[in-house]
Structures are given as C-alpha cells and as structure tokens.
C-alpha cells in the first residue's frame, strides 16, 4: 500500500482524537499531506506532536453532541510495568511470527466438536488445547496466544498448566476479557458485549495467572 495512503489514515485518526479532546486547532497545525519521499521523516514529527496531546487525551473527554468537557482520572503506570509492556509488544511483533487465537468460548468450541462427533467436556477441551500448545516447533511461528478464561486456569492432561506450556515455547499468553454477548431488549436481536462489571478485578487475577 502506498505511503501516502497510510499517512492519510494516520492524519484522519489524529484529527479525530484532536476533536474529541478539544485540541483541533493544535492538531491542524501539525497535519499536512507530504510526498512519499518526505513521509517517513514527517511522520516522526507528526507522531511527536501527537505525544504532546496524550495528557489531554487522558484527562479530557467531550460529551456526545458537544457540551462541557468531563474530567476523567488519568492512569499512571510504573516504569517497571511500562518496561514489561514494551518488551511484550516487541516480542509479540517478532518478524515471521503471528498470534494464535485460541479463545473459543465453551459454546463456540462445542460447535467445532459437534462437527467431528466429540463430546464438549472440560477434559476434551483441555486435550484439544494441549494438542495445540505442544505442537512441535510452534514457538518458531507463534509469538502470542489469546486464551479463553477457562484455558488460563486450566491444566493439560500431563498436569502442566496451559500457561506454562505456552511459556515453554516462548509464547506470551493473553486473554479475552469480555464475558460474551447478550441480546438487547426491544431490539431486532442486537447484541451487546458483557464484562465491564468487575473487569479491573478480573484483570488483576489474569495477570497473576500469567
């Protein structure tokens, strides 16, 4: 894809965030369309300007359809956590590797098991995931794996935790944090995602689990 296309997308996203934070004029002074030759260097300058907006982004949010800004709590993280996040991001983005989506819910995996005549039991789900995570050489091609909540706390038939199986291959475990879908009353079967209630507490438990 041409450089200019990526730049245009970046600029539009940049302006959108600026509008939300009430910093449109500041953003427009930094958003220009450049030739493909200038793009790599100008993008760095634009990104640097964007970083100046981050404190405002974390503390100012406009109400829908305008209105006075609402002050939100700014999230601060320690240098230790920031370093861990950066290291994980670098590892997950390793060249030649991808992310394994193994976050099938109990209901979703049942459909797959039904298609091959396998009963949807916890033991069979554990055996299936063990088969995935112990595939020979998987760590050479997979850098991260998204897990379902059950899998995060599950053990393989050998007694080793699923998280440890992944770590043995140098794969970073992650987790899907929502609690599934629910139908919104009074709609044409429109769905809403569940899981905001108790999310902070669950994330702490997920982190402790690996």
Q: According to the model, what pLDDT value does residue 25 have?
A: 43
Do 95 and 152 fall within a single domain?
A: yes
Query: Is 193 part of any domain?
Result: no
Together in a domain, 50 and 90? no
Residues 172 and 84 in one domain: yes
pLDDT at 140 over 90: yes
Q: What is the pLDDT of residue 68?
A: 52
86 & 171 share domain = yes
Clarify whether residues 160 and 102 are in a common domain: yes
Instruction: Please tell me the distance from the alpha carbon of residue 158 to that of residue 204, in angstroms, as a whole number.
Output: 27
Mean pLDDT value across residues 139-153: 94
Q: Tell which residue, 131, 135, 177, 130, has the closest CA to residue 154.
A: 130
What is the share, in percent, of the chain residues with pLDDT greater than 70?
64
100 belongs to a structural domain: yes
Considering the domain architecture, whether residues 93 and 155 belong to the same structural domain is answered as: yes
Cα three-residue angle 14-17-20, rounded to 5 degrees = 150
Same domain, 100 and 135: yes
164-177 average pLDDT score: 94
User: What is the rounded distance in angstroms from the CA atom of residue 160 to the CA atom of residue 163?
Assistant: 8
| Per-residue model confidence (pLDDT) at position 169 | 95
Of residues 63 and 205, more confidence is placed in 205
Query: Which range in 76-80, 121-125, 196-200, 204-208 is most confidently predicted, on average pLDDT?
Result: 121-125
pLDDT band at 178 (very low <50, low <70, confident <90, very high): confident
Q: Are residues 168 and 109 in the same domain?
A: yes
| Band of residue 74 on the pLDDT scale cut at 50, 70, 90 | low
Return the pLDDT at 63: 45
Within a domain: 205:
no
| pLDDT value for 95 | 93
Judgement on whether residues 87 and 157 belong to the same structural domain of the protein: yes
Q: Is position 13 within any domain?
A: yes
87 and 145 assigned to the same domain:
yes
**Structure confidence by residue, pLDDT tens digits, 75-131:** 677 888 888 889 989 999 999 999 999 999 998 999 999 999 999 999 999 999 999
Structure tokens at 151: 């899998």
Q: Which of 20, 40, 55 is the last residue of a domain?
A: 55
Cα separation, 97 vs 105, in Å, equals: 24
Domain presence at residue 188: no
Same-domain status, 45 and 90: no
Any domain includes 74: no
Is residue 195 one of the residues assigned to a domain? no
Question: Same domain, yes or no, for 50 and 88?
Answer: no
Q: Which of 36 and 74 is assigned the larger pLDDT?
A: 74
Residue 161: inside a domain = yes
Model pLDDT for residues 4-58, shown as the tens digit of each residue: 343 444 444 444 444 444 444 443 444 443 334 443 444 444 445 445 544 544 4
Count of domains forming the chain? 2
Q: Which domain holds residue 92?
A: 79-176
CA distance 131 to 117: 17
Give the pLDDT mean for 156-161.
Answer: 94
Total number of residues shown for the chain: 210
């Amino acid at each position: 894809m041409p450089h200019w296309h990526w730049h245009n997308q970046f600029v539009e996203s940049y302006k959108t965030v600026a509008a939300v934070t009430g910093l449109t004029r500041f953003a427009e002074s930094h958003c220009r369309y450049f030739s493909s030759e200038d793009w790599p260097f100008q993008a760095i300058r634009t990104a640097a300007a964007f970083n100046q907006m981050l404190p405002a982004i974390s503390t100012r949010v406009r109400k829908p359809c305008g209105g006075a800004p609402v002050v939100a709590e700014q999230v601060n993280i320690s240098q230790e956590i920031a370093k861990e996040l950066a290291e994980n991001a670098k590892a997950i983005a390793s060249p030649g590797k991808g992310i394994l989506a193994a976050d099938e819910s109990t209901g979703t995996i049942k459909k797959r098991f039904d298609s091959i005549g396998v009963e949807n039991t916890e033991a069979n789900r554990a055996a299936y995931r063990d088969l995935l995570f112990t595939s020979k050489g998987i760590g050479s091609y997979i850098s991260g794996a998204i897990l379902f909540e059950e899998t995060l706390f599950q053990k393989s038939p050998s007694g080793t935790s699923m998280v440890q199986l992944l770590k043995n291959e140098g794969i970073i475990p992650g987790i899907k944090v929502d609690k599934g879908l629910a139908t919104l009353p009074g709609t044409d079967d429109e769905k809403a995602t569940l899981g905001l209630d108790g999310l902070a507490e669950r994330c702490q438990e997920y982190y402790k689990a690996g």
